[in-house]
Amino acid sequence: MTTKRITVAYGDGIGPEIMEATLKILKAANTPLQYDVIEVGQKMFEKGFENGIDPNSWELIRQNKVFLKAPITTPQGGGFKSLNVSARKNLSLFANVRPIRAYAPYVKTHHPDMNMVIVRENEEDLYAGIEYELTDEVVESLKLISRSGSEKIIRYAFEYARINGRKKVTCMTKDNIMKIADGLFHRVFNEVAAAYPDIETEHKIIDIGAALIADRPHTFDVVVTLNLYGDIISDIAAQVAGSVGLMGSSNIGREYAMFEAIHGSAPDIAGKGIANPSGLLNGALLMLNHIGLQKYAATIQNAWLKTLEDGIHTGDVYKEGMSTQKVGTQAFAEAVIARLGQQPANFEKTDPDKLIEKNISIELSTPEPRKRTVVGLDVYLDQEMDSVDLSQKIEQLALGNLYLKVLSNRGHNFYLNKEVKAHTGRHWRCRFCVPEGARVSNREIVQLLSELEHAGINFIKFETLCLFNGKRGYSLAPGE
């Protein structure tokens, strides 16, 4: 059998300990792999690489196509970017797949029947990291959702469900509040679902969805959701299943794939030799499955299940009465190695023939382009003024076809009751509209901004208000 080269990063915190344990098991199982090790994380941040990686390492990752990565500590603030987010974006790893199941009774959980897969959108949402300080006290984080990005992950979730014999796909959004962004994801879900009549579908608002994962996780099968929600619910699900230290995760793109544990670098236990290596090991097993080494994945998984059954547990899952031995990271790895070739007695044995290589190909639809018409403008101000003075000043400007419709501050429309003086901070939104049927040209936008400038009104950004094929493409202001 030919040897496959993969790229490996030992990461930060508990990363080096759990990677050492994981590779030890892979080597003991004679897995035909060769490893190109790259340095990532804290050391690279300290050397001034803002993404925590030497740009030359991307070449190696691209060459090998498969990347096994231990967790990384992202420094707070200071302009540093998360390497995880950069890797997902640079390599177009659009699908983050997190299988989460209970290992009861050997790992204690209140939900022994849970067995779900969270399919998390991996490239968009608030993780674009586009943030601004708008005024002295107001900041902004942009949530970007695209139709094609949504369709890609939702189709992936349905294809994954079909190939893996899963029966239901649940979509989770917060479209009761974010009607446009989350609304798009939910709408695309409904459109895609129509092509999979063999699969049951449902939608849950993310807050009750997260609560139900904590309370009745066995009722979920495949869950598809936006990036941030997926991040949160996968930690909830993993913890409910027994420990965040148990579960692996794959990040899949059309060309490249990255495999990791779902948990972070656990600085609180780093260097103590007590971390559970199972999360990264399970990530590595997903990798073996992905590259066609199912036989090795099955052998290691069976040995790992037997180790759990034998009660040999790291501290995070150790329970008096059920566990027989509390071990550290390397001793756990040795226990798995000692059981290579053995089968679990009670857990269902992993059959390599039943592990399917999950090369899922996605065909995106090509919707008709829609006609975009600009019918207004929201101009944001950083202005020390009360609502009455500000609205009077704006009304005196020569605005042509445009008129002031809304003057809001933190979502409250003060223009509804123009006589009441209110002063709630410097961050104002002025909504300018044109009469029905008219449109706003770029020249009118420039003129409006110029009028504001001449009047000494300090604008800081603007957003156009558009109709798409005649349908409103912006949220209404309160009372509008």
- Report residue 76 as tokens: 């707070």
> Nearer Cβ to ligand NAD, position 243 or 391?
243
- Closer of 260 and 310 to ligand NAD (Cβ): 260
- What number of other Cβ atoms are within 10 A of residue 359's Cβ? 9
Nearest to 255 by CA among 71, 64, 53, 6: 64
Name the site residues for ligand NAD (rule: CB under 6 A).
14, 18, 71-74, 84, 244-245, 260, 263-269, 275-276, 279, 316
Q: Which is nearer to ligand NAD, 150 or 314 (CB)?
A: 314
**Cα(112)–Cα(155) distance, rounded to whole angstroms?**
29
Shortest approach of ligand NAD to residue 267 CB, angstroms? 6
CB of residue 129 to ligand NAD, shortest distance in Å: 13
Q: Give whichever of 18 and 33 is closer to ligand NAD, judged by the CB atom.
A: 18
**What minimum distance in Å lies between the beta carbon of 238 and ligand NAD?**
9
In whole angstroms, how large is the CA radius of gyration of the chain?
A: 26
In this chain, which residue has its C-beta nearest to ligand NAD? Answer: 264
Torsion (CA) 231, 236, 237, 242 in degrees, nearest 10: 130
Are the beta carbons of 387 and 414 closer than 8 angstroms?
yes
Q: Closest approach of Cβ 80 to ligand NAD, in Å?
A: 10
Q: Considering the complex, what minimum distance in angstroms separates the CB of residue 257 from ligand NAD?
A: 15
Residues 6+ apart with CB under 8 A from 170: 201, 202, 203, 204, 209, 220, 221, 222, 223, 224
CB of 14 or CB of 157, closer to ligand NAD: 14
Nearer to ligand NAD, 124 or 316 (CB): 316
Nearer to ligand NAD, 122 or 276 (CB): 276
> Least distance from C-beta 245 to ligand NAD, angstroms?
3
Q: How far is the CB of 268 from ligand NAD (least distance, A)?
A: 5
